[in-house]
Amino acid sequence: MSLALNQQVLVLNRLWQAVNVCSVRRALSLLFEGHAHVVCGDQEGDFKTYNFSQWRDLSQARPHEDESVGTISFRVRVPRVILLMVFDRLPKKEVKFTRHNIFERDKNTCQFCGVTFDRKDLNLDHVVPRDRGGPTTWENIVCSCIPCNTRKANRTPAEAGMRLIRKPKRPKWRPFVQVNFGAPVHDSWKHFLDLAYWNVELGQEIG
């Protein structure tokens, strides 16, 4: 039972936007307190919502349809998606401006020659050099291989006769890439994750 209670549940805000994940234990607590409803697809592919008593009744009517957890007096199905009743904002999610995240954005690929390398063979390059006033930001930092970095030296790409394969910018990442850590996504999540994109707030320092 403890394993079931620690499984992940997708959390939607009041506007049906995916905003977080929580444990089954937390989801059932929110449901019981009236702060959330369960979202469940029916056989026609439509999504319906259930409050705690309705979800309990549905669990009794279909006791073996899905994994469930037991209380002293009844069993209740594990919810996969819940809808918050009052929260209508997208949370402010900060992704740190780090070497790792720049490598992720650039897919471990030199932004001058287009070749993919092991991270140990890549540098981070200021497109406009720092001593020319180039900032340390998403828009001015790119991955570069050691030969390209050496060739560019302390010059702009134009001065070095080089071109970027793409203009560096702040990434737009899907939610839960970091929250979920690659764990399998339940089928009932996919509809909501396909609709959700996060423009994240970014830090200013490489750490």
Mean pLDDT, the chain, rounded, equals 79
Structure confidence by residue, pLDDT tens digits, 25-46: 899 999 999 999 999 877 666 7
165 token code pair: 């394969």
Q: Parallel, antiparallel, or unpaired: how do β-strands 68-70 and 122-126 relate? A: unpaired
Q: Bridge-partner residues for 69, per DSSP? A: 76
Is the Cβ–Cβ distance between 14 and 88 less than 8 Å?
Answer: yes
Q: What is the 3-state secondary structure (H, E, C) of 20-87?
A: EEEEHHHHHHHHHCCCEEEEEECCCCCEEEECHHHHHHHHHHCCCCCCEEECCCCEEECCCEEEECCC
How many percent of the chain have pLDDT more than 70?
Answer: 73
Structure confidence by residue, pLDDT tens digits, 134-152: 999 999 999 999 999 999 9
Closest CA to 180 of 27, 9, 37: 9
Q: In this model, does residue 21 exceed pLDDT 90?
A: no
Closest CA to 12 of 33, 36, 32: 36
Structure confidence by residue, pLDDT tens digits, 85-131: 886 565 555 567 888 888 888 999 999 999 999 999 999 999 999 99
Q: Which residue has the higher pLDDT, 71 or 104?
A: 104
pLDDT class for 133, splitting at 50, 70, 90?
very high
pLDDT class for 180, splitting at 50, 70, 90?
very low
Q: In this model, does residue 3 exceed pLDDT 80?
A: no
How many percent of the chain have pLDDT more than 90?
Answer: 37
pLDDT score, position 186: 72
Give residues with Cβ within 8 angstroms of 18, minimum separation 6.
10, 11, 12, 175, 176, 189, 192, 193, 195, 196
Task: Specify the pTM.
Answer: 0.49
Eight-class DSSP state of 161: T
Q: Domains in the chain, ordered, with CATH? A: 2-92 (no CATH), 94-181 (1.10.30)
Structure confidence by residue, pLDDT tens digits, 8-18: 888 888 888 77
Is the Cβ–Cβ distance between 3 and 78 less than 8 Å?
Answer: no
